[in-house]
Amino acid sequence: MLAGLGLIFVGTHFLTVNMKELAGPRLRRLVRAVTRHPVQAAMVGVGSGALVQSTNAVTFIVVGLVSAGAITVQAGMPIVTWAYAGTTLRLLLISLDSSTLTYALLSLVGAAYLFEMHKSPRHGFLVNAAMGLGLLMLGVQLTVMGARPLGDSATVRAVMAFASQFYFWGFIVGTLLATVMQGMTVSVIAIALVSGGLLGLDQTMLIVVGANLGSGLMSWIQASTLKGTERQLSVYQVILKVIGCLVLLPLLSLEHFFGVPTIVALTGAITTDVALQVTLVHWLFQLVAALVASPLNGPIYRLVARLSPPSAEEVLERPAHLYNPRPTGAAEAIRQVEQEQDRLMLRLPLFLHGVRPGEEGPKPPSLAVLQRSGRALGATIREFTLDAVAQAGPGAESDRLLRLADANQVLAELQANVAQFVAAAATRGEGGATDGMTRSLVEGLHALLEIVAADLGDAESDPEFLVKLVADRSVALLAVRERVSGDAAPTRPEERLALWRSIDLFEQIILLLRQYVWSRSAIPAMAIR
C-alpha cells in the first residue's frame, strides 16, 4: 500500500508538471482570447482543468495575465471556477477498472523511452505526462491491493468503527491533508482506500468534500507572498470551496442523521461502484459550486476586492490602455503603447518630489514605489509591443512599433538615471555652497521633464519645439563644472562630489530625452542632433 501511495505522489508530480509545460503557452493565449465571453471562459476552464490537471497551475496562469493587465480578475473568475470540474477527469480514469489500460499505457511509455522520445522538444512533455498518468493509475491499483487485507483486520475495523462515532472526522482529515498536499491527490488516495474496503463510503465522501476545501486553503497559503489583485483569485478559490461545502455538507448530514435520500442515494442510483460514486461526489461538488457562483460573479468579485484591495503600487504598475480595447491592428496597438509611455513620462517629475523644498500639492508615492511600478509597467509594455510587432509583419507600422520598443528601453534608462540624480541631489547639504546650484539643476530638470511629457502627449505636438528643448547643453554644463571647480567657498568633498555627479546625470538625462523624443516623434535623426 505504501508503494502504491509513493507511485501516486510521483505520478501526480510527473503528470501535472509536464502537462503544465505542454499546455502553458497555448493556454495563456487561449485564456487571453476568451475572457470577454463568460460561456467560452467556462468551457476553457473545464478544458484547461482536464488538460493541465492542476487548478493551481491554471489559477497562476490567470494571475499572470491579470498582473500583466491582459485580463481582469472578474473576467478570469469563470476560468478558475470551471477548471475544478475539468480536473475530475483524473479521478474518473483511476476509478475505472483499468488494469489493462494501465499496463498498455506503461508499455507505450516504455517504448517511447527506448527510442528516447522523452528527450524530444516536441514530444517529451507528452511522453513524461503519460508516464505520470500510468504511474498514478498503477499506484492506485497497488494501494487498493494493499488496503484489502487491512480492511479485513479486526483491529482496523474496530478503529474505524470508533472513529465513525464522530461523523465529521473524514471532513476534518480531508481538509487538513489537502492543505499540505494537492486536494486531488487526497481524493485519489481516498478512492483507492474505499475501493480496498479500508474506508466506508460515507467517510470517503466527507474526505473528498474536505479535500476540496483544503485545496482552496492551500492555494490561499501559496499566495501568501502575493498581495492586492494578484491574491484576489486565491481568495476567490476559498470562497468557491466554502460555497460547495455549504451545499454538500448539510445534504450529506441530512442523509446520515435523518435518512433523507440526497447525495449517497443519488450516486448509488447512478452506479454501484464505490469508486465511481466518490468520483461523482467530487464532480458534484465542483458543479454545485460553479452553478451557485456563476450568477453571483459580480457580488463575489466585490467581496473579493474588499478582502484583498489593490495596493497603490499595483495601481501604478497596471496598464490603463493596453488591451483596452483589444487591438485589431497595428495602428491601435501603436496608439495604446504611446498612451502607456505617456503615463510613465508624466511620472518622471514625481521622482524629484523629495529634493524640491517647499513643493505643494498631494504627496506622490515614494521613489522606490515609483521605480518598481515603472519597471513592471515598462516590462508589460515591452512584451505587448514585441507581440504586436510579430503580428504586424513587415512595413511602416512594424517599423513604428520597433521605434516604440526602442523608446521603451530608453524610458527605462531615463527612470534609472532620474532616480540616481535624486540620490545625488539629496546629499547637497542644506545652505551649503553647492546648495543653490543643485536646486537650480533640480528645478530645471523638473521643468524639462514636465514640458517634454506634456508636449509628447499632446496631439498637436511641435517637433521643432521639442528639438530645441532637448538640445545639447554640453557647453553650458561645462561652464557650470568649471565654476564649481573654481569656487573658493569652503565645501565638503562629498557635497562637491555629489554636485559633479548631479551635473553628469543631468547631461545624461538630456541625452536620453533626445533619444526618446526621436523614437517617439517623426523627427529625422540629423535634426535632433
What does the pLDDT read at residue 488? 54
Q: What span, in angstroms and rounded, lies between the C-alpha atoms of 463 and 37?
A: 43
Q: Measured between alpha carbons, how far is residue 69 from residues 321, 341, 386, 520 in Å?
A: 9, 15, 16, 23
73 within 8 A of 285, measured Cβ to Cβ: no
DSSP state of 271: -
In this structure, the number of other CB atoms found within 10 A of the CB of residue 50 comes to 17
**261: DSSP letter:** -
Burial-class residue 493 by CB neighbours within 10 Å (0-12, 13-18, 19+). Answer: exposed
* Neighbour count for residue 473 (Cβ, 10 Å): 16
Can you give the pLDDT at residue 413?
A: 96
Contacts of 240 (CB under 8 A, 6+ apart): 80, 81, 84, 216, 289, 290, 293
- Distances from the Cα of 59 to the Cα of 3, 73, 90, 278, angstroms: 31, 11, 18, 25
Give 3-state DSSP helix, strand, coil % of the chain, rounded to 5: 80, 0, 20
Residue with cell 509536464: 18
User: Cis link prior to 325 (omega < 30° from 0)?
Assistant: yes
State the CB neighbour count (10 A cutoff) for residue 390.
10
Instruction: In whole angstroms, give the CA distance from residue 139 to residue 152.
Output: 21
- Which pLDDT score is estimated for 255? 94
The per-residue pLDDT for 240 is 93
Three cell numbers at 298?
A: 459580480
Q: Chunk the chain into consecutive blocks of 10 residues (it has 529) and report each block's average pLDDT, rounded to whole numbers.
A: 89 80 64 70 80 71 70 83 83 77 91 90 85 88 84 76 84 91 86 87 93 89 78 90 95 93 94 92 93 91 89 84 84 92 93 81 86 92 90 84 92 95 80 74 91 81 76 78 65 76 91 89 52
**For residue 526, what pLDDT is reported?**
42
Task: Quote the pLDDT of residue 97.
Answer: 64
Element (H, E) at 290: helix 274-293
| Sequence letter at residue 213 | L
Angle formed at CA 417 by CA 64 and CA 509, multiple of 5 degrees: 125
74 vs 244: CA distance, rounded Å: 20
Which among 348, 330, 324 has a CA at the least distance from the CA of 410? 348
**Domain ranges across the chain:** 2-307, 320-528
pTM over 0.85: no
